[in-house]
């Protein structure tokens, strides 16, 4: 508040100084003009007395000066209010934000200057982003705790049962524990990839290689799991060198196939790798049940599950598609989800075709 009063005082003093300078220049300029005029056309003493201002004229000029100063001060006060009211509101809201009140918002009066109103709008946008980030962080913390709780609870129960002699320490028990540990390992790795992807620090090792052979090998390894769930796998992979990080694209394919195995209707699954308009694409298609358009825009967010197709009972951490998006962004590409003609779902990951594009994107994200 002290700083605002000081600024208001400076505005008033500056406006008053400007008014005095204008009046002084007007009076002095008049005398200079007539002085120069008289130097070329001298006047007599009688004429000189007529030109010199009388006491009434001096009083009039003093009155005009006082009135001008009053108008200048009034204008300065009004201007300072138009400037300072939004600034004071921003300052007060900043203090509330610093104290942890993320609902603090600044207010710009209707008569505020355009720049001041723009400052208020920018501040409120920043406050909204801060609040959204805090809410997302709280959601992430709760979601991560929820995902870790189940395997940790199982591990604790099994280990306690083994320690107390409730369970026999046979091979089946150890394999069950190993399965839970592997699930935790995958969850931690998915969290790491998504976190690095969101912050722009997911590093790639792009190169030209026969990606089709790698994807076919990964798909065939996963095919038995798909077949046991009632799916039939079809591959249409473009042969030849493709620029990408092969390990990351394989990881994305496995995440997409695992998502289909858990949530799609048993039937045909098509995996297509191709190139179109200077971009490579990996497309995975199932036969249903499809995704609502409203949910499709959020399906690649972490811990998102639809009401029917992505229920907790069907398993999964809710990170698989978020990993796919992180890999796509790290490649300078995009991901999309749409409904196919036959009512199924099409997941598509696309990225640039050249290593130069990938290198340029990686450098920009690391900076």
Alpha helices (H) in 208-342, listed in sequence order = 211-228, 246-263, 293-296, 320-330
Report, as an integer, the average pLDDT of 195-210.
Answer: 82
Helix H, strand E, coil C: the string for 299-333 is CCCCCCCCCCCCCHHHCCCCCHHHHHHHHHHHCCC
Both tokens of 166, joined, read 């409730």
Confidence of residue 311 (pLDDT cuts 50, 70, 90): very low
| Of 167 and 5, more confident | 167
Percent of the chain with pLDDT over 90: 14
For residue 149 the two structure tokens come to 């709780």
How far CA 75 is from CA of 1, 4, 184, in Å, comes to 21, 17, 68
Q: 328 vs 306, which has greater pLDDT?
A: 328
- Indicate the pTM of the whole model: 0.61
Q: Give the model confidence (pLDDT) of 130-148 as tens digits.
A: 888 787 777 767 777 767 7
State the pLDDT confidence band at 57, using cuts at 50, 70 and 90: low
pLDDT confidence of 284, banded at 50, 70, 90?
very high
* pLDDT tens for each residue of 234-267: 999 999 889 888 989 998 998 899 889 988 889 9
Dihedral (CA of 311, 317, 318, 320) sign: negative
What is the pLDDT, as a whole number, of residue 281? 93
Query: Could you count the other beta carbons within 10 Å of the beta carbon of residue 295?
Result: 15
d(CA 117, CA 111): 9
Most confident of 59-68, 104-113, 161-170, 353-362: 161-170
Residue-range domains of the chain with CATH:
2-112 (no CATH), 132-199 (1.10.287), 207-366 (3.30.565.10)
Measured CA to CA, the distance from residue 221 to residue 223 in angstroms comes to: 6
């Amino acid at each position: 508040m002290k700083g605002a009063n000081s600024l208001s005082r400076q505005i008033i003093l500056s406006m008053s100084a400007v008014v005095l300078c204008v009046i002084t220049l007007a009076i002095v300029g008049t005398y200079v003009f007539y002085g120069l005029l008289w130097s070329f056309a001298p006047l007599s003493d009688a004429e000189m007395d007529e030109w010199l201002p009388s006491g009434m004229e001096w009083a009039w000029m003093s009155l005009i000066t006082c009135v001008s100063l009053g108008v200048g001060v009034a204008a300065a006060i009004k201007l300072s209010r138009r400037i300072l009211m939004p600034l004071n509101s921003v300052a007060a809201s900043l203090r509330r934000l610093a104290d942890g009140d993320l609902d603090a918002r600044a207010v710009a009066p209707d008569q505020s200057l355009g720049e001041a109103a723009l400052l208020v709008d920018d501040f409120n946008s920043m406050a909204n982003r801060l609040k959204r980030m805090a809410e997302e962080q709280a959601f992430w913390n709760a979601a991560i705790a929820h995902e870790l709780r189940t395997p940790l609870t199982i591990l604790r129960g099994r280990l306690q049962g083994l320690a107390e002699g409730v369970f026999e320490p046979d091979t089946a028990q150890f394999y069950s524990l190993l399965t839970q540990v592997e699930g935790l390992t995958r969850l931690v790795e998915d969290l790491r990839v998504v976190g690095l992807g969101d912050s722009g620090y997911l590093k790639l090792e792009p190169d030209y290689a026969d990606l089709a052979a790698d994807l076919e090998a990964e798909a065939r390894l996963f095919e038995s799991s798909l077949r046991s769930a009632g799916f039939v796998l079809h591959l249409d992979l473009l042969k030849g060198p493709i620029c990408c990080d092969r390990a990351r694209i394989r990881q994305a394919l496995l995440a997409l196939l695992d998502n289909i195995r858990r949530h799609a209707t048993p039937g045909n699954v098509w995996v297509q790798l191709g190139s179109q308009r200077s971009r490579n694409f990996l497309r995975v298609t199932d036969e249903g049940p499809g995704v609502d358009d409203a949910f499709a825009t959020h399906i690649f967010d972490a811990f998102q599950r639809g009401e029917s197709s992505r229920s907790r009972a069907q398993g999964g951490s809710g990170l698989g598609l978020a990993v796919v998006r992180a890999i796509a962004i790290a490649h300078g590409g995009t991901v999309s989800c749409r409904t196919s003609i036959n009512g199924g779902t099409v997941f598509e990951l696309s990225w640039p075709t050249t290593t130069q594009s990938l290198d340029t994107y990686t450098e920009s994200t690391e900076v």
